[in-house]
Amino acid sequence: MIVTYHGHSCVQLTDGTHSVIIDPFLTGNPSAKAKPDDIQVQYVLLTHAHGDHIADAEAIARANDATIIATFELATYYSWKGLKTVGMNLGGCLKLDFARVKMVPAFHSSGMIVEEGTILYMGMPGGFVVTWDDTTLYHAGDTGLFGDMKLIGEQHDIDLAFLPIGDLLTMGPSDALTAAEWVKTNSVIPIHYDTFPIIEQDADKFVKSLKKRGIKGIALAPGGTFEMKK
């Protein structure tokens, strides 16, 4: 499996035949190398409804005739736009023909600003545990540190976790180190940092701190790839 980090929290997974993208934010992302037209996927997974996670969901889904997978409220919103969707909720599992997707909790917020003075509530935020062949990946979404991350680690044999480190809007590096231990992951790719000045972080320092705890860290530049091998 090839993992491509498109910057911010946007991650694409592919085995050469099937492909999914999580939280596509390319348009308006100053660090993104790819454009929505470059993306070819069958599924678009959304952790929550903030603009820096859904910016290109509609464009990518429409261009690829792809299915959007999100919380019930957010999926319903996109279904009204004529897109294919599957609404799910925390704790639920969805079986695809090549993978299993489970939505797990995240401690954050989720709303869509449609105009000044109007914010649409879009259900609870979440993360995803994706089991693909014999590989299990955990995308935490936007979240602070919370105790049930230990339960996620107990229930799943996580090979790779995507954890936010930006601080201010999510957990910072220190809490992300704890999260990595709690979910018992083998490897971590940090996400949700450096896109804007308010979330600048030293990813290399974070990776070194992971190493001291016996966890492999991979700091990818936007557009960078990593090959998962078991």
**pLDDT of the chain, 230 residues: tens digit per residue:** 999 999 999 999 999 999 999 999 999 999 999 999 999 999 999 999 999 999 999 999 999 999 999 999 999 999 999 999 999 999 999 999 999 999 999 999 999 998 899 999 999 999 999 999 999 999 999 999 999 999 999 999 999 999 999 999 999 999 999 999 999 999 999 999 999 999 999 999 999 999 999 999 999 999 999 999 86
Report the C-alpha gap between 36 and 31 in whole angstroms: 14
- Domain-located, residue 229: no
Report the C-alpha gap between 140 and 118 in whole angstroms: 27
pTM of the model: 0.98
Report the C-alpha gap between 155 and 150 in whole angstroms: 9
- Domain-located, residue 113: yes
- Domain-located, residue 226: no
Number of domain units in the chain: 1
Q: What is the DSSP string of 53-100?
A: HHTTHHHHHHHHTPEEEEEHHHHHHHHTTT-EEEEE-TT-EEE-SSEE
- Domain-located, residue 230: no
**Closest C-alpha to 135, from 157, 112, 110:** 157
Q: Which domain holds residue 31?
A: 2-220
Residue 180: CATH number of its domain: 3.60.15.10
- Domain-located, residue 225: no
